């Protein structure tokens, strides 16, 4: 019996890139299809274009195709979760649809997996074409992640091969809001890394919005570190020491009969303390909202349609 490999592709409005992706997968997986049974599962994250139609009408000799469509856009993380939840196979490959994760690396990933690595990661040599602002923000995020949670994700990508063992482990985690890359890195499995140059996105456009990315970064950071909460305490203690110093100086001056005149100082101090309090409350709010989300325990996504072609018998859905 051949080993089964699921290729999970999160997609959001990718009608222009899907045909190229299928052609490329066909080219790369065909020579390996005698040895493995491939199942390509397209996780349609609320596309409003022809993405689902293209998948429904697609058939290949090299792999079977599956479609799992969400009712609306739930985000890439939810799409990855859905993929990991639904297929039973020996290995799982997560890949972007836009060919920025070159499928040519799949044979090497499988080779390293066969040689015993339960986790094979493709790491970016450089970050491809990005605006200065985007580069700055991603640097800020990765640096914060590194210093707050000791997870080094700078060149990490979602392009990974996971052994069944890792997927079973992830499924057993009760948390709903998963930050896939962080979770994998946190699990600490021995990894084989394949460096790759990120090609530019040739067709279609990224559906990430700036505000969406900011929310995603804050949510990922707070998933892996509670250090900001401790920071609030540290700032509080520093302010206390400062206020004791200033307070005793003021009292001393008063005892000498030189009452301090300093309306400006009072206003500045009030504003400073006010904003510190607001920021601290905001930080605590961020964590409370995460707890709230988890406690509600709503599913991370809702499936509208599921299809599985049987070009070959791999990747049996659960
Ligand atoms: N994607 C998704 N849901 C989203 C946003 C993106 O499934 O809400 C998919 C998208 O179709 C692509 C992959 O995630 O296959 C990577 O997205 P994109 O290329 O837009 O982002 P990048 O990480 O390259 O900036
Ligand atoms: Mg991309």
Q: Is the CB of 8 under 6 A from ligand 1?
A: no
Q: Is the CB of 10 under 6 A from ligand 1?
A: yes
Confidence of residue 11 (pLDDT cuts 50, 70, 90): very high
- At residue 76, the pLDDT reads 95
pLDDT at 309 > cutoff 80: no
Same domain, 178 and 264: no
Same domain, 304 and 270: no
- At residue 310, the pLDDT reads 55
Give the C-alpha separation, 101 to 43, whole Å.
Answer: 16
- At residue 316, the pLDDT reads 45
Percentage of the chain beyond pLDDT 90 is 63
Confidence of residue 132 (pLDDT cuts 50, 70, 90): confident
47 is in which domain, residue-wise? 3-131+154-205+300-314
Q: Comparing 84-98, 182-196, 237-251, which segment has the lowest mean pLDDT? A: 237-251
Same domain, 86 and 193: yes
Cα–Cα distance list, 40 to 48, 79, 168 (Å):
21, 14, 19
Percentage of the chain beyond pLDDT 70 is 97
Whether residue 88 lies inside any domain: the answer is: yes
Mean pLDDT on 236-261 = 87
- At residue 62, the pLDDT reads 93
* Number of domain units in the chain: 2
Same domain, 161 and 272: no
Q: Is the CB of 11 under 6 A from ligand 1?
A: yes
What average pLDDT does the structure give for the chain? Answer: 90
Q: Which ligand is nearest to the CA of 158?
A: 1
- Residue 116, exposed/middle/buried by CB under 10 A (0-12, 13-18, 19+)? exposed
Q: Measure 63 CA to ligand 2 centroid, in angstroms.
A: 23
44, 133, 206, best to mutate for ligand 1 pocket (most atoms within 8 Å of CB): 206
- At residue 313, the pLDDT reads 43
Contacts of 93 (CB under 8 A, 6+ apart): 5, 6, 7, 8, 106, 109, 160, 161, 162
Instruction: Give 189-198 pLDDT, tens digit per residue.
Output: 999 999 999 9
Whether residue 140 lies inside any domain: the answer is: no
- At residue 277, the pLDDT reads 92
- At residue 117, the pLDDT reads 96
Whether residue 54 lies inside any domain: the answer is: yes
- At residue 209, the pLDDT reads 82
Half-sphere exposure of 159 (CA within 13 A, CB side): 27
Same domain, 199 and 115: yes
pLDDT at 318 > cutoff 70: no
User: Relative to the CA of 158, which ligand 1 atom is closest?
Assistant: 23
Same domain, 170 and 273: no
Angle at 211 between CA 209 and CA 215, to 5 degrees: 115
Selection from 88-92, 143-147, 272-276, 295-299 with the highest mean pLDDT: 88-92
105: domain CATH number is 3.90.550.10
Q: What does pTM read for this prediction?
A: 0.87
Same domain, 171 and 72: yes
Selection from 78-82, 204-208, 252-256, 306-310 with the highest mean pLDDT: 78-82
Q: Measure 88 CA to ligand 1 centroid, in angstroms.
A: 24
Same domain, 105 and 238: no
Looking at the DSSP bridge assignments, the partners of residue 195 are: 123
């Amino acid at each position: 019996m051949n080993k089964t490999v699921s290729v999970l592709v999160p997609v959001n409005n990718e009608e222009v890139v899907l045909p190229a992706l299928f052609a490329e997968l066909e080219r790369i997986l065909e020579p390996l299809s005698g040895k493995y049974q491939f199942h390509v599962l397209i996780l349609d994250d609320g596309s409003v274009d022809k993405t689902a139609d293209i998948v429904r009408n697609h058939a290949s000799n090299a792999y079977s195709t599956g479609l799992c469509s969400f009712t609306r856009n739930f985000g890439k993380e939810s799409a990855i979760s859905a993929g990991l939840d639904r297929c039973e196979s020996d290995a799982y490959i997560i890949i972007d649809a836009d060919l920025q994760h070159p499928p040519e690396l799949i044979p090497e990933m499988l080779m390293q997996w066969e040689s015993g690595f339960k986790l094979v990661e493709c790491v970016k040599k450089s970050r491809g074409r990005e605006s200065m602002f985007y580069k700055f923000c991603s640097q800020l995020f990765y640096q914060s992640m590194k210093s707050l949670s000791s997870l080094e994700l700078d060149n990490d990508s979602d392009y990974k091969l996971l052994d069944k063992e890792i997927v079973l482990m992830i499924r057993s985690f009760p948390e709903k809001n998963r930050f896939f890359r962080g979770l994998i890195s946190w699990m600490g499995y021995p990894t084989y890394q394949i460096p790759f140059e990120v090609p530019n996105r040739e067709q279609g456009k990224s559906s990430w919005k700036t505000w969406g990315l900011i929310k995603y970064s804050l949510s990922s950071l707070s998933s892996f570190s509670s250090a900001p909460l401790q920071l609030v305490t540290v700032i509080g203690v520093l302010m206390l020491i400062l206020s004791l110093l200033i307070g005793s100086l003021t009292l001393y001056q008063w005892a000498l009969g030189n009452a301090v005149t300093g309306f400006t100082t009072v206003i500045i101090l009030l504003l400073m303390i006010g904003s510190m309090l607001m920021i601290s409350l905001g930080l605590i709010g961020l964590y409370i909202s995460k707890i709230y989300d988890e406690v509600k325990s709503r599913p991370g996504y809702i499936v509208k349609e599921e299809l599985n072609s049987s070009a070959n018998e791999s990747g049996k859905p659960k």
